[in-house]
Amino acid sequence: MRSTSDDRFVLEHRPSKNLLNPHRAYASLWEEEPDATGALIPTAVIFLSNRECPFHCVMCDLWMNTLDETVEHGMIPRQIRDALASLNAARHVKLYNAGSFFDPQAIPPSDDDEIAAAIVGFDRVIVESHPAFLAGAHGERCLRFRDRIPGQLEVAVGLETAHEGVLERLNKRMTLDSFRRAADFLRREGIALRVFILLSPPFMRVDEDVEWACRSIDEAVACGATVCSIIPTRSGNGAIEALGDEYHRPSLAALEQVVEYGLSAFAFGFGETRRGPQTQPRLGRTVRVFADLWDIERFFNCSCSSLRAERLRAMNREQRVSERVSCACK
């Protein structure tokens, strides 16, 4: 049952949404991301304009680029086709919609066939979903979509944190158990799992953020994740500011420590001239670990920060820990 008091807190402190055109994706970009062999794969990333997620997470700022109503039939496929036409050729595609791809209020089920036709040439299709939309009838929609596309389906799920007390307070309406059930569903059905993990979520003590981000990587990998993306928790959504000292801005040093842990524990390293394992991952299988570097400049606090951010970009590409930038800053 939704807690209206928690929702009310989030909603009361919001600034205004951005104005979106329902006929167009609100953003798109082209990137390269290493696959499990270390090859850099050209990837199209499309940020769809669609109805807001029904969950009001305390830390979320994605709602700022959403609509208030469900888009008309045919709008989502049109957004995808137009965005792809503006990007360079790619082999993988990420369809991110600031919520859950299988939420019928966000992505109309009647569009699924046309969406599948728009992405027929991709080897891998990555969408995002809350665990609630990977169960029951929603789970059946996920399976039908998997069967419609010729490539591998991958679903990104926001675990956020394995700290159960903090997870409950985020107002995400999920538990570790519901995450595990969703991960088990995806594993049984041959669908790859990507996991989003927050560094320094609200309500976490500053001296625990690195430890719990690392423990969250452990949890995600134990549940079968093949990709873990570490996201520094950003301010700017209104609710974060209203929390006062219950939120602290993550440091670049903390992000470095967490990514170093994940790469050392679970990833193979790939350099430009060396292919193959740098060290044997703890579970004997490759898990890619990425630092989410979107808007990373807001975490810069010293003259060497840009060099440290470039080091993280290199570790994202090569999936191995590189030498730290010499710096006296935190």
pLDDT tens digits along 242-287: 999 999 999 999 999 999 999 999 986 664 433 334 445 555 568 9
Q: How many CB atoms are located within 10 Å of the residue 300 CB?
A: 14
Query: Phi/psi at 116 (nearest 5 deg)?
Result: -60, -40
pLDDT score, position 3: 45
The 3-class secondary structure across the chain, one letter per residue, is CCCHHHHHHHHHCCCCCCCCCCCCCCEEEEEEEECCCCCEEEEEEEECCCECCCCCCCCCCHHHHCECCCCCCCHHHHHHHHHHHHCCCCCEEEEECCCCCCCCCCCCHHHHHHHHHHCCCCCEEEEECCHHHHCHHHHHHHHHHHHHCCCEEEEEEEEECCCHHHHHHCCCCCCHHHHHHHHHHHHHCCCEEEEEEEECCCCCCHHHHHHHHHHHHHHHHHCCCCEEEEEECCCCCCHHHHCHHHCCCCCHHHHHHHHHHHHHHHCCCCCCCCCCCCCCCCCCCCCEEEECCCCHHHHCCCCCHHHHHHHHHHHHHHCCCCCCCCCCCC
Per-residue model confidence as pLDDT tens digits over 49-64: 999 999 999 999 999 9
Query: What region, left, alpha or beta, does residue 88 occupy, with left being phi > 0 and alpha being psi -120 to 50 degrees?
Result: beta
Rounded to the nearest integer, the mean pLDDT of the chain is 92
Q: What is the pLDDT of residues 131-179, one digit of tens each?
A: 999 988 899 999 999 999 999 999 999 999 999 999 999 999 999 999 9
pLDDT score at 14: 95
Look at residues 117, 93, 96, 126 and name the one whose alpha carbon lies nearest to residue 27. Answer: 96
Pairing mode of beta strands 124-128, 40-47: unpaired
**What size, in residues, is the chain?**
330
Residues 6 or more apart whose CB falls under 8 angstroms from that of 132 comprise 100, 138, 173, 174, 178
The residue ranking higher by pLDDT, 65 or 138, is 65
pLDDT in tens, 99-129: 999 999 999 999 999 999 999 999 999 999 9
Q: Is the pLDDT of residue 323 over 80?
A: yes
d(CA 325, CA 328): 10
Residue 303 binned pLDDT confidence (cut-offs 50, 70, 90): confident
Buried b (16+ CB within 10 A) or exposed e, 86-124: ebeebebbbbbbbbbbbbeebbbeebbeebbebbeebeb
User: Measured between alpha carbons, how far is 54 from 266 in angstroms, rounded to an integer?
Assistant: 34
User: What is the model's pLDDT at position 270?
Assistant: 60
The answer, as to whether pTM is greater than 0.85, is yes
Predicted pLDDT of residue 285: 62
pLDDT at residue 2, rounded to an integer: 42
Angstrom distance (rounded) from CA 214 to CA 210: 6
Q: What are phi and psi of 250, to 5 degrees?
A: -65, 150
> What pLDDT sits at residue 276?
38
Q: Over the stretch 166-221, which tens digit does the pLDDT of each residue have? A: 999 999 999 999 999 999 999 999 999 999 999 999 999 999 999 999 999 999 99
